[in-house]
Amino acid sequence: MASVKEMLMGSMKELVEAELKEFKWHLMNPSYKHIPRSELEKADIFDTVDKMIARFGAEEAVKVTVDILRKMNQNELAKQLENKNKQGCLHRTVHHRGRYKKDVYQEREILKIDDAFRKKQTQDKPIDCSKLFTLLRENNEEKIVLTKGIAGIGKTVSVHKFILDWAEGEANQDIHCVFLLPFREINEIKDREVNLHEFLLEFYDELKHLEKSKLYTKYKLAFIFDGLDESRLPLNFESEALKMVERRSSVDVLFTSLVKGKLLPSALVWVTSRPAAANQIPPEYVGLFTEVRGFTDQRKEEYFRKRIKDKTQASKIISHIKTSRSLYIMCHIPVFCWITATVLQNLLNKNSEENISTTLTEMYIHFLLIQMNMKSQKYDEKAERQRTKLLRLNKEMILKLAKLAFEQLKQENIVFCEDDLEECDIDVSKDTEFTGMIAEIFKMEYGLYKTKVYCFVHLSVQEFLAAVHVFVCYLNKNMQELQFFFDKPDENITLQKLLQKAVDKAMKSQRGHLDLFLCFLMGISLKSSQNLLQGLITHTEDTTESITKTTEYIKQLQNRNISDDILALQLYFNQSRNISDEALVNLFYCLLELKDHSLYEEIQSYLSSDEHPGRNLSSSMCTVLIYILLMSEKVLDEFNPKRFTSSSNYKRLIPAVRCCRKALFDRCGFDETCCETVSSALQQSNSHLTELDLTSNHLKDSGVKRIYEGLKSSHCRLNILRFDIHFH
């Protein structure tokens, strides 16, 4: 694959002298962070390319070049450069805000999970994302791969790594063509009727040079549909399937036909999605169901050392994160690592003594404040006036973006056009609108038809700002904006009523597009969050009573009897108004954002009780159970997973070694991959583990060596360790 420099050189060489002169004239335009005339007047092609890359950076230089070529009516040249760059991006995996370098991601980021689709009891098994189709074929399955994962966990990056490994000849070389098809781009043609070839040409113009008859009959093809939760297709798997490549149909029928294996049965199909939306794919079409779990403990530390070039600062930040178990556990989400790195770099640089929050919402608030530069500093009188003006402009723009975020979230849109922005009073003609602070959270891209489109740097940022907008509207009694939740809102609506309506609205969403928004709205309503946002909101409100009633409402949704001494957790999931596991898990997360930890004592009692024979918690319940235990910052006396769940879930519960004094993991089917978590827990400064039973597991020499590394730590408090020794 050509480097960016080579691609730009190739495009420039196609221009005659007069055209090159016009190109350089456009480069002097202030809208491009212009290069001074004195530097460009005598610059040849080589110098011009070098100056562009130095000025804009590699990827931005390509975008600028494409934009200028279009202004010069060099449309074919612009299209060729864009296609080359599109292919090159598969090779280079973009390291952008919210995106992560390929080498951070290793084999343990995707797991084959207890397959609720097929009701088989299977072990969680770490798998390399490049081996997904290999594993699918080993099971003699002629179905699709479906991968789920929460927001920001790394689904898209896993897809990029798969393609990168294939493009570099390291894996899946039996596949001739891999087509990456993001749903956010598919949405742009959802109302058209096309055949398969016409559909693919929309994304890959270079296919027009291939012979169609061979492409669909001789070649092995792989289709990767990324982000089902972002889809706006009206999926109906009961509709008649498409069987012929040449036949036109709606895009949703084309997609469902590929999934059902009726159209191109020999093709490989991989779909990624957030958990709630994954349920749109009927289980009978899924041959391999996997989950992206994010960073292991080792990868968390690697991420911060790669992200923060100053080694001393990186070590300081890692140490700080490890002092808070709840903060450390949240860093399994890559996008949260990005937010955390940004926040801690800023606060620790200033030797800030303020308490770093441990909820997702408060960390996002810190991130927003840093972007707005709202921290108090000393300025002279003139500089203070300039700063005040800047803060006012930043505040106005943030509130406009927050309105945009909410208006588009209601419609399940994550990509916007200029009209959408103008409806929220955002003037796209002003170059200053998308520079500086705004560029950190909002960006412009070229859509499928090379038109300018806009989006937030990560979907979670849109969901957070949407929650900010709703809370600001509540404080300002702007009830017109809250009609989404109420049929006839009036000025006397309480926060409690708003939050309850928001819960009900989120529960009705089939695709879970309001789940994270709901968590953020809960978190923002706390008085502590309002205090942080005082530079953005006009006043604060005492929300203690509303928060208390809201937590009670959420618990009632889960069929919780508050007066019970013992919590039968499975009732939360099996008898709760037919609410899905994923929606209930999100309700637990909402309670955590509200800093309600009252569940902990009841959970602890449940885990140590023998009064519920035959109980078996679902895999989803086990996931949220461990999350609650870790976030509580409290310590269990004993943890024994065999008391309350099946062997298929044991590996999910390994992180409990961080929050207990005695861990009984004998006969749990652990292998050497589990030992990394155990070793890391032993090395934590806040480790409480004094007794660990790992007998009758398959740890191997490599696993034992990892545990030994933990035992050597000065923080290790272990007194009793049991495991098997095999002599050869």
Over residues 257-269, the pLDDT tens digits come to 999 999 999 999 9
The answer to whether residue 224 scores a pLDDT higher than 90 is yes
The answer to whether residue 304 scores a pLDDT higher than 60 is yes
Contact 687, 659 (CB under 8 A): no
> What are the sequence ranges of the domains in the chain?
4-92, 102-292, 297-356, 381-532
**In the prediction, which pLDDT does 77 show?**
86
Q: How far apart, in whole angstroms, are the C-alpha atoms of residue 507 and residue 583?
A: 6
User: Both tokens of residue 183?
Assistant: 């749903």
The 10s digit of each residue's pLDDT in 387-411 is 666 677 788 889 999 999 999 999 8
Q: Name the residue type at position 448.
A: L
Helix runs in 142-195, H state only: 155-167, 183-186
What is the mean pLDDT of the segment spanning 327-354? Answer: 77
The answer to whether residue 479 scores a pLDDT higher than 50 is yes
What is the mean pLDDT of the segment spanning 47-67? Answer: 84
**Averaged pLDDT score across all residues of the chain:** 80
The 10s digit of each residue's pLDDT in 204-219 is 887 877 777 788 888 8
The answer to whether residue 109 scores a pLDDT higher than 50 is no
Q: What predicted TM-score, i.e. pTM, was given to this entire model?
A: 0.69
Q: How far apart, in whole angstroms, are the C-alpha atoms of residue 283 and residue 296?
A: 29
Contact 232, 186 (CB under 8 A): no
Q: How far apart, in whole angstroms, are the C-alpha atoms of residue 285 and residue 446?
A: 34
What is the mean pLDDT of the segment spanning 371-379? Answer: 54
Residues contacting 355, CB < 8 A, separation 6+? none
**In the prediction, which pLDDT does 106 show?**
35
**In the prediction, which pLDDT does 282 show?**
92
Other Cβ atoms less than 10 A from the Cβ of 4: the count is 21
Residues contacting 131, CB < 8 A, separation 6+? 171
Looking up tokens 């612009």, which residue turns up?
Answer: 78
Between 30-39, 477-486, 641-650, 688-697, the lowest mean confidence (pLDDT) is in 30-39
CA 230 to chain centre: 12
Ranges 73-87, 272-286, 322-336, 642-656, most confident: 272-286
The answer to whether residue 636 scores a pLDDT higher than 80 is yes
The answer to whether residue 100 scores a pLDDT higher than 70 is no
Looking up tokens 């797991």, which residue turns up?
Answer: 111
**In the prediction, which pLDDT does 36 show?**
79
**In the prediction, which pLDDT does 281 show?**
92
CA distances from 585 to 275, 414, 526, 613, 630 (A): 11, 24, 21, 24, 15
373 burial level (CB within 10 Å; 0-12, 13-18, 19+)? middle
Q: How far apart, in whole angstroms, are the C-alpha atoms of residue 392 and residue 703?
A: 56
The 10s digit of each residue's pLDDT in 651-709 is 888 888 988 999 999 999 888 888 888 998 898 877 889 999 999 998 888 889 999 99
Residues contacting 209, CB < 8 A, separation 6+? none
- Reported confidence tier of residue 122, pLDDT bands at 50, 70, 90: very low
> Looking at domain 4-92, which CATH architecture does it have?
Orthogonal Bundle (1.10)
**In the prediction, which pLDDT does 444 show?**
77
- Reported confidence tier of residue 524, pLDDT bands at 50, 70, 90: very high
The answer to whether residue 485 scores a pLDDT higher than 50 is yes
Quick check: do 4-92 and 102-292 share a fold? no
DSSP 144: E
Looking up tokens 């790195």, which residue turns up?
Answer: 341
The answer to whether residue 46 scores a pLDDT higher than 60 is yes
Q: For the domain with range 102-292, which CATH number is right: 3.40.50.300, 3.40.1280.10, 3.30.1330.20, 3.20.20.220?
A: 3.40.50.300
